[in-house]
Amino acid sequence: MSGKPPAGIFRDRKYTFFCSFSVSKYPGGESPQETRGLAPSAGLAKEDHSSYFHPMDLTDEIRACRLCEVRFQTTATAHEPRPVVWFRPAPAGQGPRLLIAGQAPGARVHLSGRPFTDPSGDRLRAWTGLEAAQFYDLSRIAIVPMGFCFPGYDAKGSDLPPPAVCARTWRARVIASLPDLRLTLLVGGAAIRWHLGARDVTATVRAWRDFGPRGIFPLPHPSWRNTGWLKRNPWFGDELLPELRARIRSVMEMP
Task: Report the candidate in 96, 98, 43, 62 with the shortest Cα–Cα distance to residue 244.
Answer: 98
- Contacts with 211 (C-beta within 8 Å, 6 or more apart), sequence order: 196, 217, 218
Helical H segments across the chain, by residue range: 55-63, 69-73, 107-112, 119-128, 132-135, 164-176, 189-196, 201-206, 208-211, 227-232, 235, 241-252
pLDDT value of position 72: 98
- pLDDT of 16 over the 50 cut: no
The DSSP annotation for 153-210 comes to: B-TTSPBPPPPHHHHHHHHHHHHHT-TT--EEEEESHHHHHHHH----HHHHHHTHHH
Q: Measured in Å, how far apart are the chain's first and last C-alpha atoms? A: 33
Count of alpha carbons within 13 angstroms of residue 223, beta-carbon side: 27
| Average pLDDT of the residues in 170-193 | 97
Domains and CATH numbers, the chain: 44-252 (3.40.470.10)
- pLDDT of 157 over the 80 cut: yes
pLDDT tens readout for residues 98-148: 999 999 999 999 999 999 999 999 999 999 999 999 999 999 999 999 999
Side-by-side strand order, sheet with 216-219:
141-143, 98-101, 183-187, 216-219
pLDDT tens readout for residues 26-83: 455 543 333 333 333 333 333 444 444 455 599 999 999 999 999 999 999 999 999 9
Q: How confident is the model at residue 90 (pLDDT cuts 50, 70, 90)?
A: very high
CA distance 136 to 100: 11
